[in-house]
Structure 1
Amino acid sequence: MKEFYGAELRRRREDAGFSQSGLGELLFCSGSYIGQMEVATRSPQLDMSEQIDTILKTTGSSGGSARPSSRRPRPSSPRILRPLPSWSSGL
């Protein structure tokens, strides 16, 4: 998934005429950070992905469904908590 994001980011960045450092300047990060995202050694945070979409005018296509997520998906059902053992009442 990160590899797809990186390849798509590079393609769209180049199509828009930006260098890595040029895009980095607009995002307040280094060009090497952009390069690391493109080769999938780094993943952008959600807000960075949204800023990239705004700058490249991609409306989620560079980050939307391909956006890497550091968050685990929520479980579909609530967790069932077990009662604490009786010996824990003295803690």
Structure 2
Amino acid sequence: MPRHTQDWQVRLHLTEDENTTKAKAELDIGGTSVTGQGVARRNPRDKDIPEIGDELAAGRAMNDLAQKLLTIARTDIEGLSHPGP
């Protein structure tokens, strides 16, 4: 039987304007909100396939979110290793 379980939900917001798709990935971890950002730009000469821009922008936002979570974890680990006064 698991000792600790949680369900985290990421909210992903996508907006497209002309040749640019922006994504924002938001995660609430116990009262702290962590946000990742991602952008995809389409060359005007390329075929307009919105799904590709969505995938790129969302992937980049999720990657940014993941990097921020790893930074938070490193900071928490360092705090345990080097407690303050």
Report the TM-score range of the alignment, normalised by the length of the smaller protein.
Answer: under 0.3
Q: Which has the higher helix share?
A: 1
- Using the size of structure 1 for normalisation, the TM-score is 0.23
**Whose relative contact order is higher, 1 or 2, with alpha carbons under 8 Å and at least 6 apart?**
1
CA radius of gyration, larger in: 1
Q: Which has the higher strand share?
A: 2
- Using the size of structure 2 for normalisation, the TM-score is 0.24
